[in-house]
Chain A
Amino acid sequence: MPEEYEEIEDFFETVINEVSEENLTELILDLRALTFLNSSGIKTICVSLVMEADDVEGLRMKILCSNSFTWQVETIPTFKDLIDNLDIVFE
């Protein structure tokens, strides 16, 4: 249900606003403890965070992932199609 993610969308918006205002150069998303994420969640991360981060001049994004969760191994690398400056770190 998309409504469930409204709060997170708002949170991501705040993050992006702050990052641009403060001229920060790095944004880290830590997913290592996230065992499962449904497709609405993926959409929220893609559209409200990753795509927006791509629009912020001079910002590098870093996603920390865990090898133990199949969905992360399969899906996170495809985020590269959405943003030029992305580091994906698996552990």
Chain B
Amino acid sequence: MTDDENRAVEKLQKKIRKLEAALKIVADHSGKAESRMRRQFEVVSETIPVPMIISNENDEIVFANLSAQKTFGHTPDDFSELSTASLYDHPDDRKLFLNILSDKGEVNAFRTELRKPDGSVFPAELFSQPIYFDVQDCILTVVHDLTEVMALEKQLRQTQKMEAIGTLASGIAHDFNNILAAIFGYAELVANLLELETDKRKKGYLDNLLKAASRGKSMIVQMMAFCRQTEKEKTPFHLSAIVDEVVKMMSNLTRSDIDIRSDIRNKEMIVMGDPTQIHQVVTNLITNSVHALSDKGGKIEVILEKAVMIEGQRGEILIPRLKPGTYARVTVKDDGPGIEKGIIHSIFDPFFTTKPVGQGSGMGLAMVHGIIQGHNGSVSVESEPRKGAAFHCYFPVTEDDDRDAKPDVEPESVGKGDEHILFVDDDLMVLEVCSELLQNMGYRVTSCEGSRKALKIFKSQPKDVDLVITDNAMPEMSGTALSQEIRKIRSDIPIILITGMLFEEESELKKTGFQAFIQKPFDQRKMESVIRDVLDAGKEV
């Protein structure tokens, strides 16, 4: 070889070495870039809280991210043995899905139902794109679990429905209160005319009339509890005492082939609220179970236990949803016929009943729902046809101990008086009966059917009036507004408000500037004592 040839060979060899080095540089570079990208994909897919599945053209699952593993309860190995079709509740949906994918090249928000290994099914939306993954043509599918969204939607619908019914019911309650006020009033007026000894029979009839009216009154109170217009003062009490009491009472009232038992697993739990209402809740639930068992007899169990709600807990759908925390749970469970799937979503609706016309109001569970919601709790139902039913009521527990319960003392008949009362109500019936009652107590009464006219009367003789009693809801001017006008004329005049609402909070009363309230429909004694108290308090000053 010549020198030139040698040099040329050397040059070529050097070139080859450098090309080899360049090849290595490029290979290293792409190797690193590739593993970085793979890592990025892994980090993204493991971090997003959304199930992601990659399947190949044979329908085999080649990749499932952490969220998919959690949602479906499969390990990666389980997944590799599954076909995508097996994740669907309806295999036909898979075919439809693949058709859309091949037609459109992608799938956007495909609604379907997916199945977990335990057989449970959940609603979902699928999003999909073709993707090249691990050297094959694949499909990437992202699953949007709709369980939560649908539960929230349902809760919203339920709330709206309840609100609408609430408005309706409070309107009815208002008018009913006026009617009842008249019935009570006239009945008491008649009672006052009767001679105790000679008119025993008439007195008996009247008592029955008053009893019926009282039942009407308690229905109104219930209806208002449902509308949540009662803000009854809350007291702490032991839930176990209530459960015990109701179970005892209901056992005594129920035929012997229905066995009612309580199972109190935690005696100490204290709940804030209205024990009477909770009493009502448990009674309602047991009554429903008794009714469900009326054909064949059976067993009813009332369980009281502690339940801890953790963040993101699913399973039973609670209305409304609960914050994480500790709850007292009362379960009323029977082994009766259970509830059909088709109606289970309606049973808490007001007026929903499967009883024959005239037998059930369908307000039982609506009330249960309203009361529990008023206690910041939640209620759920678990039932399948022929497998009985269980209602779970959750109440937040408090640490406080039982406060001394204030007994609701019947006011004694107190002294009457001869002061001058200006009485204002737009309902003529109420106006008439009340003036009559007040006159019977000895008072001088000026009755007035409108707030404007009342104001005029007061203006003309402000010193002559000792007390104003006024209704609140009136068309011309509300009782609250009227009282403000009156106070401008004479600031020391005592005013009592008649109301259908329940203001029980002392603080609320103070805010409004009224000396007292009279609850509609009222009984004579209560009215007497409230009026006397207010008038006497005025004199002390």
Interface residues of A (CB under 8 A from B): 38-39, 42-43, 46-47, 51, 54, 70-71, 74-75, 78-79, 81-82
Contacts and interface: CB of A to CB of B under 8 A. Distances in A.
B40 to A, nearest CB: 12
Nearest to B17: A81
28 contacts: A39-B26, A39-B27, A39-B29, A42-B26, A42-B29, A42-B30, A43-B22, A43-B26, A46-B22, A46-B25, A47-B19, A47-B22, A51-B15, A51-B19, A54-B18, A70-B36, A71-B29, A71-B33, A74-B28, A74-B32, A75-B28, A75-B32, A78-B24, A81-B24, A81-B25, A82-B18, A82-B21, A82-B25
B33 A39 contact: yes
A46 B29 CA distance: 12
Contacts of A70: 36
Given A39-B26, A46-B26, A81-B18, 17 more contacts: A38-B33, A39-B27, A39-B29, A39-B30, A42-B30, A43-B22, A46-B22, A46-B25, A47-B19, A51-B15, A51-B19, A51-B22, A70-B36, A71-B32, A71-B33, A75-B25, A79-B25
Nearest to A81: B21
B19 A78 contact: no
Specify which of B15, B21, B22 lies most central, judged by the most chain A CB atoms within 10 Å of its CB: B22
A70 B21 CA distance: 21
Contact of B22 (A38, A71, A74, A82): A82
A38 B29 CA distance: 8
A51 B25 CA distance: 13
Contacts of B19: 47, 51
B36 A78 contact: no
Interface string B223-237: 000000000000000
Contacts of A81: 18, 21, 24-25
A62 B22 CA distance: 18
B75 to A, nearest CB: 33
Interface residues of B, dominant DSSP: helix
Interface string B165-200: 000000000000000000000000000000000000
A51 B15 CA distance: 8
Contacts of A82: 18, 21-22, 25
A78 B18 contact: no
Contacts of A46: 22, 25-26
Contact of B29 (A47, A51, A54, A74): A74
B10 to A, nearest CB: 13
A78 B25 contact: yes
A75 to B, nearest CB: 5
Interface in B1-55: 15, 18-19, 21-22, 24-30, 32-33, 36
Contacts of A71: 29, 32-33
B367 to A, nearest CB: 66
A46 B23 CA distance: 9
B7 to A, nearest CB: 13
Contacts of B21: 81-82
A76 B25 CA distance: 9
Contacts of A43: 22, 26
Nearest to A74: B32
Given A47-B19, A51-B22, A78 B33 contact: no
Contacts of A42: 25-26, 29-30
Contacts of B25: 42, 46, 75, 78-79, 81-82
Nearest to A79: B25
Contacts of B28: 74-75, 78
Contacts of A51: 15, 18-19, 22
A64 B21 CA distance: 21
Nearest to B11: A55
Contacts of A38: 30, 33
Top-3 shortest CB links A-B:
A39-B30, A46-B22, A81-B21
Contacts of B18: 51, 54, 81-82
A62 B28 CA distance: 22
A48 to B, nearest CB: 10
Contacts of B36: 70
Nearest to B33: A71
A82 B29 CA distance: 15
A74 B27 CA distance: 12
Contacts of B30: 38-39, 42
A39 B30 CA distance: 6
A71 B30 CA distance: 10
A46 B24 CA distance: 11
A62 B27 CA distance: 23
Interface string B293-322: 000000000000000000000000000000
Interface string B428-462: 00000000000000000000000000000000000
Contacts of A54: 18
Contacts of B29: 39, 42, 71, 74-75
A47 to B, nearest CB: 6
Contacts of A74: 28-29, 32
Contacts of B24: 78, 81
A74 B29 CA distance: 8
